[in-house]
Amino acid sequence: MAAPTPPAFARTVRGSGPGLLLAHGAGGGIEANYGPILEELAARHTVVGVDYPGTGATPKADSPLDLDQLADELVAAADAEGLDTFAVSGYSLGGPVAIRLAARHPERVESLVLSATFAHADTRTALVASLWQQLFESGQHTLLAGYLNLMTLSEPALNALTPAQVHAFAEQLASSLPSGTGDQVDLVRRADVRGDLAGIAVPALVVVTTADPLISPSLQRQLAAAIPTAEIAELATGHLPFLERPQDWLKLISDFLTENRGG
């Protein structure tokens, strides 16, 4: 019996200049996670991203997701756009994807930017992801959206909202959860790139989201400590820098790429 044909990954391509690949987070997407800074990044780079299975126009997968597959699909998108080398920006689950890409294709990667991310799920992160997955798969999407408000927004950002605004935000989020959310959160629980970190030789920036309830700052710093070339930048935000502090996040990324790639 022939192997099933893998789903075609929807691709986002913007701008011109040096290549910059984007890897998004679980339950997110290129537009959802990078949309607020996408045009600014594309002003100086050829920006390429793919949506994981079950996000946007990418069909849902019929088997568990795999870091190697996601990394290779992102490289295939770069190939299709004529990019020989590139920087890679990974947000949340996109961090392990970017790290695995660098490990599998070291000759292609010029630098890494890793934001609000992890090398493996510790006990706390695995518990958070397990509850996330169970709430999604049980169909309790409004309850899940409320849980995600609690687990992604910083305390100041959450307290700046009224209860009515939080409820409205949850209702909006519940209606827009990607169909592949459960599969992607399952990969959060399984992902482990600790064995890849010591081999990273290109410049790397780890953006630690210091008010992050989802991926603890200590777990983010553990990742940075294991990468020989890493420098740390701290950003006082929850897990959603594109929502709470998009311009500050953009500046960290852009300044690092300018310093290390001349573009």
Task: State the burial class of residue 72 (Cβ atoms within 10 Å of its Cβ: 0-12, 13-18, 19+).
Answer: middle
Tokens of 209: 């989201």
> Rounded to whole angstroms, what are the CA distances from 60 to 18, 46, 172?
31, 27, 22
pLDDT for 96 equals 98
- The SS3 assignment for 177 reads coil
- Of 33, 114, 102, 26, nearest to 71 by C-alpha is 102
pLDDT for 262 equals 45
230: which strand partners?
204
Chunked into runs of 10 residues, the chain (263 residues) has average pLDDT values of 59 97 98 97 98 96 96 97 97 98 97 98 97 97 96 97 95 95 98 98 98 98 98 98 98 96 53
Q: In what order do the strands lie in the sheet with 46-50?
A: 11-14, 46-50, 19-23, 86-91, 109-115, 204-209, 230-235
Query: What structural domains does the chain harbor?
Result: 11-122+191-261 (3.40.50.1820), 125-174 (no CATH)
Angle, in degrees to the nearest 10, between helices 67-80 and 94-104: 70
Interval 193-213: pLDDT, tens: 999 999 999 999 999 999 999
Q: What sections of 63-177 are H helices per DSSP?
A: 67-80, 94-104, 123-137, 141-152, 155-159, 163-174
- pTM for this model (two decimals): 0.95
